Structure 1
Amino acid sequence: MLEVKIIRELKMLSKLKGIDVAFYIFLLTGFGYLTAFLFGWGYNSYFGIPIAFIDLSIANVTKSIALLGVFFTFIAMYVTFFQEKSDIKTLFLKLFSINVTNRIWNISLQILCIVGVIFFLFGWFIVKDATRINFIGIVLLCGLGICHLKKYDKLFLVVWVILMLIIPYMVGVSHAMKQEEFYLVDNKTDYLVIDFYNNTAIAAKFDKKQNIIYPNFKLITVDSIAEDKKDLKLVRVEKINVEVAYCVK
């Protein structure tokens, strides 16, 4: 039995060797840029920073590629050593093999998912800031439940892909919500440095008394900070609020 298992694993490894490595590296790099962009988009949207200032530096993209690499490495190891068949369809069916055969339970769960879709869509219309994306994420989860219970396999795959694309954006928004450490330029508290873009610090207007950040920005080059011998001071601001952009009437 041990020899058979070893032979099987060697065959699977030989299949992996035949994969066009350059093509998969290209795909991984593309997904890395996409993930970094979506994460930055979510982070910037929470503070109201324009989309043009998303940082797609080598460092950020490399972090995204590294995380994706770890994720796909675990999948490859799982398929290679624990599955008799290594095709994607078998893995997909294995991961989502939960099935509710009881008709009453099936219908009850479908109704629950439909109610969830309606409820969280209503929440999405009410909430106006960047956190509204969380409602869409939950709506998609409920949609996955409906597709699975009704055995809409193709639609399930489409919704699952959309959810995977939204998750980096949601993580970016969540990271911005939990942000408590910012930089002060020359110890002045009227502006907080929210992010860095290339050689520029993006600073947002800050009301220290009310603990509110306003979508009113100014750009400060790092070179000007060095030339004027100004200091960058890291401070912690807890329970900070972000003012929603107002409408011009």
Structure 2
Amino acid sequence: MATLISHFYNEEYLLPWWLMHHVPLFDYGIMINRGSTDRSADIIRKLAPHWELRDSSVPDFHAVKVDKEVMDIEKGVSGWKIVLNITEFLVSRYGIQLFQVLDSLGGKMYSVRTITMVDPLGYYTDPIYAQPLVKQRYHGLFPADPQALYNGRFIHKYRSGGYTAGRHWTIKSYEVLLIPAFIMKFSFSPWNHAMIARKLQIGPTIPEDALKSNMGSHHLFNLHELETNYLALAAITEDMRRIPEFRSLRLR
């Protein structure tokens, strides 16, 4: 049994690709609606009709409360489980056999390394829904150091993940997953109006008490600041088709 859990908030642009990618990989999914006002819930009902759709008990983007909610949900799920944002795509060279591979490794929890996807300036046209998004983009910041865990995501068989705020760290024992498997995180890709609007909508949903505790402040920016961040990363993004470990995913 393998279960995918995710919060979503007005994600109708990325959701079709995200669902078409993950539904074949997981036995079950639990999608938590954090007050969406767009077509996100309808898209889930259409593309993942056998998955569970529920409303969040956390109306604002409070990292600690959101993570507690997913950990409580995890406690009712057996087998392998992972919590991903809608920007995060789990990819491996094993396809639906990934969880059998994880069983064979013998561990209970693994940190999956993250590739931060960043479009080079003026390189791509807008992607299309007729093709997997992971096959339409191949520029990003590849984790050169296998032990570099920042922004990694955990896949595990514990009762819950024991995450600290943001789910990039845990109090549980784990190993770094060094087989050809990654999280492709579409942070600055596709870089278009829809993705820019998606990023700008997050900051206003962060409650004051979270900001006072320095949680979520990295989501606070205006359009100019966001474009400046993008341009800085676009200057160093690389064509990952040149990297043997990326090629071993066999996405192309």
Q: TM-score, normalised by structure 1?
A: 0.21
Q: Which has more radius of gyration?
A: 1
Q: Comparing both structures, which one devotes a greater share of its residues to helix? A: 1
- Structure with greater contact order relative to length (CA < 8 Å, sep ≥ 6): 2
Q: TM-score, normalised by structure 2?
A: 0.21
